[in-house]
Amino acid sequence: MGKQNCWEAKKCGREIGGAKTKELGVCPSAMESRLTGVHEGKFGGRACWVVAGTLCGGKEQGTFAQKYHNCEKCDFYQQVKLEEGSKFKLSIVLLNKLKTSLTPLEILQRESAKQMTMQER
């Protein structure tokens, strides 16, 4: 079996189209496009520990700062760390990627604002 995303390994059902999305919503990790490709995952599926608002044990975990100590102990985090070995990306690198990258919505908003500015001229 290939490398799994968190929703596959944890079987939470919160991926897009998952069994529990009506009840619990789609997980922020399953929509975090800025982390696509990290550790060969889809969206934030192999870097869920840096994504705010994920669930663990049925409870929202909050921000990275609030949840990281729990995530470090998680079997999935440990699995990714083991599978990636020396290619494992440190959390600070991933957080910086989130901080410096625009989301698709932000890109659309900027493009829209540029077009409106050009039309006003």
Count of domains forming the chain:
1
Residue 50 within any structural domain of the chain:
yes
Please report whether residue 62 resides in a domain.
yes
What pTM was computed for the model?
0.82
Q: Report if residue 22 sits inside a domain.
A: yes
Report yes or no on 41 lying in a domain: yes
pLDDT tens digits for range 48-107: 999 998 988 788 888 888 898 899 999 999 999 999 999 999 999 999 999 888 777 777
What residues make up the domain containing 91? 6-120
Residue 20 resides in a domain = yes
CA angle 42, 29, 6 (to 5 degrees): 65
Instruction: Judge whether 1 lies within some domain.
Output: no
